[in-house]
């Protein structure tokens, strides 16, 4: 089946020029795009599609064309990072929340430039609006159609058989744009499922710990850590030869090295940056550690840090209140970030969540006010050698 690329391109809610940021003259220059179907959530530099995509950026630069790409998926962002490292020209489509006012757009897009390292060359950010009740994902095909329509050269790399991009590439108006020199097999990296300890083993291992804590558990990150730029993330991705470069273990090590649990707005009310913790003891928490197909990872892994509730409360942390939607509307605005809506389909209350607005600074805690959890005695010995808090193996 042939996809109508031109029709798709017209469906993207593109921002007016007053929202654009950077060198607008780039839209008049010949452009090229590097195409990849969706890959594994935890790709690494040893994969063939990564290496071929990086090589394809050299073709674009040698031909003197502008890279036309997007933020939002590793398959687009990787090439933006590579081009930025060479100080070459980029046009970047950027999702922006519907209702953003023009006065705010330049600052938001300037941060995007800094995130990708696009501040030293000619670049242009063109926002498209994501409806308040929608998802950026619903616009992916329209975004791809806009890029396919507006470039002179298309470089397909790793394309899934029977997928959306393959359907687009048979369009007669597209075929003569294709440069086939960098095509490789479609073979997404498989994600390993971590081993989760048995609850009774955990209970036996930490039975001497008085549980008056709340814990923040880490997991493997499928993108930049909170506070990390895409420049740093893609640098490490390209150097890696397996998926452990953003593992739960390294995430915990970063927290301890910085003495900070960084806040994130992901899935938080009012888009507020917060740190989430759970009152559940470790032996109960491991029962909730499970594979999430939607996110292609487990929800939590057995690497974490627990803080005494009294210490967290002194720093501003609060226990989450659960209830129905109507109850949230009756709360003062300051209390709403600490409210979690419940329903018959959710079991949020069983998480016994606490939240803290902003970063949690561990350097404000005494040595005896936090405990670090790792999954095995070998890791406990390794962590303890450089950590001022007590480190416990939960097995």
pLDDT for the residue numbered 42: 85
* Separation CA 120–CA 223 (nearest Å): 24
**What are the CA-CA distances from residue 18 to residues 66, 70, 102, 359 (Å)?**
21, 19, 7, 34
pLDDT for the residue numbered 296: 60
Six token digits for residue 312 = 């967290």
pLDDT top residue among 231 and 222: 231
- Bridge partners of 268, per DSSP, are none
When pLDDT is cut at 50, 70 and 90, the band that residue 3 belongs to is low
Mean pLDDT of the chain: 92
pLDDT for the residue numbered 85: 94
Residue 2 predicted with pLDDT over 60: no
* Separation CA 182–CA 155 (nearest Å): 7
| Residues 144-196: tens digit of each pLDDT | 999 999 999 999 999 999 999 999 999 888 999 999 999 999 999 877 778 88
Question: Minimal CA–CA distance to 128: which of 146, 113, 114?
Answer: 146
Contacts 24+ apart (CB under 8 A), 377-382: 379/249
| CA 310 distance to own-chain centroid | 32
- CB count in 10 Å sphere of residue 183: 17
* Separation CA 90–CA 198 (nearest Å): 50
380 Cβ neighbours under 8 A, 6+ residues apart:
374, 391, 392, 393
| Residues 292-351: tens digit of each pLDDT | 666 566 788 999 999 999 999 999 999 999 998 888 888 998 999 999 988 776 777 888
DSSP 11-24: TS-BPPGGG-EE-G
| CA 66 distance to own-chain centroid | 26
Asked whether 214 and 309 are in contact (CB, 8 A), the reply is yes
39 Cβ neighbours under 8 A, 6+ residues apart:
47, 49, 74, 75, 158, 188, 189
CA dihedral 363, 365, 371, 374 (to 10 degrees): -20
Instruction: Provide the strand spans (E) within 98-167.
Output: 123-130, 153-158
pLDDT for the residue numbered 233: 97
- Bridge partners of 306, per DSSP, are 215, 371
Domains and CATH numbers, the chain: 5-175 (3.40.50.450), 199-393 (no CATH)
Asked whether 14 and 146 are in contact (CB, 8 A), the reply is yes
When pLDDT is cut at 50, 70 and 90, the band that residue 207 belongs to is confident
| Residues 53-64: tens digit of each pLDDT | 999 999 999 999
pLDDT for the residue numbered 336: 92
134 Cβ neighbours under 8 A, 6+ residues apart:
none
- Bridge partners of 67, per DSSP, are 32, 90
| Region 205-222 average pLDDT | 93
pLDDT for the residue numbered 7: 81
∠ at Cα 60 (58, 62), nearest 5°?
Answer: 65
Instruction: Provide the strand spans (E) within the chain.
Output: 21-22, 31-36, 66-70, 90-97, 123-130, 153-158, 213-217, 260-261, 274-278, 291-292, 297-298, 304-308, 318-319, 321-323, 339-341, 353-357, 360-361, 370-374, 390-393
pLDDT top residue among 268 and 355: 355
The sign one gets for the Cα dihedral 166, 170, 174, 175 is positive
pLDDT for the residue numbered 309: 97
pLDDT for the residue numbered 1: 42
Q: What percent of the chain has pLDDT over 90?
A: 74
**What are the CA-CA distances from residue 346 to residues 67, 86, 316, 343 (Å)?**
44, 48, 27, 5
| Residues 361-370: tens digit of each pLDDT | 999 999 999 9
């Amino acid at each position: 089946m042939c996809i109508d690329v031109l029709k798709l391109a017209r469906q993207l809610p593109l921002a007016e020029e007053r929202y654009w940021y950077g060198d607008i003259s780039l839209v008049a220059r010949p452009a090229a795009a590097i195409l990849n179907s969706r890959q594994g959530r935890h790709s690494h530099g040893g994969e063939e599609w990564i290496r071929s995509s990086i090589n394809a950026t050299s073709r674009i630069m040698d031909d003197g064309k502008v890279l036309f790409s997007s933020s939002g998926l590793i398959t687009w962002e990787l090439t933006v990072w590579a081009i930025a490292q060479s100080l070459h020209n980029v046009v970047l489509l950027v999702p922006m929340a519907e209702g953003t006012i023009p006065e705010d757009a330049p600052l938001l897009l300037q941060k995007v430039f800094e995130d990708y390292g696009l501040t030293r060359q000619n670049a242009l950010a063109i926002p498209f609006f994501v409806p308040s009740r929608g998802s950026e994902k619903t616009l992916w095909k329209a975004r791809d159609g806009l890029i396919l329509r507006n470039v002179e050269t298309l470089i397909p790399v790793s394309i899934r058989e029977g997928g959306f991009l393959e359907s687009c590439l048979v369009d007669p108006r597209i075929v003569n744009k294709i440069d086939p020199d960098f095509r490789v097999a479609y073979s997404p990296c498989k994600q390993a499922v971590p081993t989760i300890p048995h609850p009774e083993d955990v209970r036996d291992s930490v039975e001497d710990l008085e549980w008056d804590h709340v814990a923040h558990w880490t997991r493997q990150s499928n993108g930049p850590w909170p506070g990390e730029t895409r420049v740093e993330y893609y640098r490490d991705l390209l150097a890696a030869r397996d998926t452990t470069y953003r593992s739960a273990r390294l995430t915990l090590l970063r927290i301890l090295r910085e003495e900070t649990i960084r806040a994130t707005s992901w899935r938080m009310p009012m888009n507020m940056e917060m740190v989430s913790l759970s009152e559940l003891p470790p032996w109960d928490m491991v029962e909730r550690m499970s594979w999430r197909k939607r996110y292609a990872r487990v929800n939590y892994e057995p690497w974490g840090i627990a803080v005494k509730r009294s210490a967290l409360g002194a720093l501003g942390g609060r226990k989450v209140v659960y209830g129905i939607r109507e109850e949230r509307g009756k709360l003062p605005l300051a209390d709403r970030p600490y409210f979690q809506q419940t329903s018959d389909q959710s079991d949020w209350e069983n998480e016994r969540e606490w939240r803290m607005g902003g970063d949690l600074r561990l350097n404000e805690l005494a040595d005896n006010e936090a405990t670090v959890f790792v999954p095995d005695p070998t890791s406990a010995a390794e962590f303890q050698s450089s950590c001022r808090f007590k480190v416990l193996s939960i097995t």
